[in-house]
Amino acid sequence: MSEAPLLNATAITKTYGSQIGCENISLDIHEGEVLAIVGESGSGKTTLLNCLAQRLPMTAGRVSYRMRDGTTRDLAGLTEAERRFLMRTDWGFVHQNPADGLRIRVSAGANIGERLMAIGDRHYGQIRETAHDWLSRVEIPGVRIDDRPTAFSGGMRQRLQIARNLVTNPRLVFMDEPTGGLDVSVQARLLDLLRGLVDQLALAAIVVTHDLAVARLLSHRMIVMKGGRVIETGLTDRVLDDPRHPYTQLLVASILEV
């Protein structure tokens, strides 16, 4: 892992009127590191993720990012064009609902190809070949390349969304409950696939999940949120095997009882 963090967040707060979304959160993420954000419903996980990914304006705080050219930039200072370019190239965002991250009316191949075209690729044959290659990497048969995502199962759609995000070789991928809403057996397979891709590509990822098994399998480090605040943070195995905060102890115990 490189020493300077890829992304640094300092004292992030987001309020919705008088309602606190998340409060005074600071964190670092390094290249190739997977961070899980866990906590009960309403604890502020999605709010934090969306602030980090610049999808939601923060009430206070700062996010800086080490760009591909090596310079570290305060993301509030990016121009709209720079911000869009960053999101299309170096970042990915995997939504819980694949329909939010796909263009549902165009083919699977076009869903992948579109990201490549957005960064300037113009060679149709090459784009199609890359799309084909990515479909097989996410275990979608190449013969389905011209099918629309509407003809896919939930698991296939989610795998397509992942391919669409990874085709530009991002260094950081944000994921909001990537296995939520799928059958348990489909979840397990998707999680396996995700873990393989994250390893192979040495991706950094920030993964929101309420499922501690997802955190255990995917992440190196985790933060536990409650009421908009971080109440515990540490290496995933340490937090899950030896939780220190009473709330984390409760969270871990409730899973073990199931």
Ligand X SMILES: Nc1ncnc2c1ncn2[C@@H]1O[C@H](COP(=O)(O)OP(=O)(O)OP(=O)(O)O)[C@@H](O)[C@H]1O
The binding site for ligand X (CB under 6 A) comprises 16, 19, 21, 39, 41-47, 210
Of residues 37 and 239, the one with the C-beta less far from ligand X: 37
Of residues 17 and 125, the one with the C-beta less far from ligand X: 17
What is the rounded CA–CA span in Å between residue 101 and residue 63? 23
Query: Which helix or strand (DSSP H or E) is residue 213 part of?
Result: helix 212-218
Q: How far is the CB of 53 from ligand X (least distance, A)?
A: 13
Of residues 110 and 223, the one with the C-beta less far from ligand X: 223
* Residue 43 DSSP code: S
Q: What is the DSSP string of 52-114?
A: HTTSS--SEEEEEEE-TTS-EEEGGGS-HHHHHHHHHHTEEEE-SSHHHHS-TTS-HHHHHHH
Q: How far is the CB of 214 from ligand X (least distance, A)?
A: 13
Say if residues 256 and 51 touch (Cβ distance below 8 Å): no
Q: How far is the CB of 252 from ligand X (least distance, A)?
A: 17
- Report helix, strand or coil for 14: strand
Of residues 114 and 211, the one with the C-beta less far from ligand X: 211
Q: Cα–Cα distances in Å, from 161 out to 130, 165, 171, 175?
A: 15, 6, 16, 11
Q: How far is the CB of 211 from ligand X (least distance, A)?
A: 10
Of residues 45 and 157, the one with the C-beta less far from ligand X: 45
Of residues 16 and 124, the one with the C-beta less far from ligand X: 16
CA angle centred on 99, ends 97 and 101, rounded to 5°: 85
